[in-house]
Amino acid sequence: MKYAIAILLTLLFSIEAYSQSMRNRGGFKSTKIGATLSNYAGSINTSFAEGSPGYGVEVSVDNGSGYFRYFFRGRFNQSIGRQNFIKGTTVYNSEYEFFSVEPEIGLALYPVQRQEKGMNLYLWGSGSVSYNYLNLKDVPTTVSVDPKGQALGYGFGGGVGLELLLGGGSSKGGSRHYLIYTEIGFRQATAQLAGQREFDISGMNASVGVGF
């Protein structure tokens, strides 16, 4: 009898350990570094919709379970171009330089539990605060706009992502997982720039990078 009880207990502990490992699968911490592309949208003259795309870099750290994960991300973006702007009823054309630094926090949902090797699909949503700097180089003297404006912006976004887990090696914290990822989504945001209380800096964003 005691052998049967010992075998039963061993079996129960083995099942619990296996269940725990399944629950924890994909729950490892990841750091991602990528390049970004922003195609701006919005109304003409009060957004960068007619200007140049934005290019930048991003760094993020995510953690959580194999289904729900939270992340912190920092993005740096730059756009240099020429387009029309408006102040009151006056439309003017100017060359511009735009820079933004955008920290954000968000959540990611994996419809299928995150695997430690192979392809994973996830949905993400985030909220952000950004520091924005806009240098307008050709403002007419008759237009009362600060040619070098800076302002905080607020926004939110969401989209879809893919990551390819490549396996990995060992690290001080345990197994290290290497990956390639790409994301696409839309970010809605405004800032007080170019003489507008709500200059639109929204747009479609794409990113691609590596992680570990």
Q: Does the residue 16 lie in any domain? A: no
Q: Does the residue 23 lie in any domain? A: no
In whole angstroms, how large is the CA radius of gyration of the chain? Answer: 24
At 16-32, the pLDDT tens digits run 343 344 445 678 899 99
- In the block, which residue shows the tokens 């194999």? 66
- Compute the distance between CA of residue 181 and CA of residue 32 in angstroms, rounded to an integer: 8
Judged by DSSP in three states, 178 sits in strand
At 166-200, the pLDDT tens digits run 976 544 555 678 999 999 999 999 999 999 999 99
Contact 22, 16 (CB under 8 A): no
Q: Does the residue 37 lie in any domain? A: yes
Q: Does the residue 6 lie in any domain? A: no
Q: Does the residue 2 lie in any domain? A: no
Judged by DSSP in three states, 184 sits in strand
Instruction: Specify the number of domains making up the chain.
Output: 1
- Compute the distance between CA of residue 44 and CA of residue 40 in angstroms, rounded to an integer: 11
Contact 47, 134 (CB under 8 A): no
Contact 84, 50 (CB under 8 A): yes
At 126-166, the pLDDT tens digits run 999 999 999 999 999 999 999 999 999 999 999 999 999 99
- Among residues 212, 210, 118, the alpha carbon closest in space to that of 164 is found at 118
For residue 14, the tally of other CB atoms under 10 A from its CB is 10
Residue 95 or residue 23, greater confidence: 95
CATH number, position 84: 2.40.160.20
pLDDT of residue 2: 41
In this predicted structure, the answer to whether residue 11 has a pLDDT above a threshold of 80 is no
Burial classification of residue 26, based on how many CB atoms lie within 10 Å of its CB (0-12 exposed, 13-18 middle, 19 or more buried): buried
Q: Does the residue 63 lie in any domain? A: yes
- Compute the distance between CA of residue 201 and CA of residue 155 in angstroms, rounded to an integer: 9
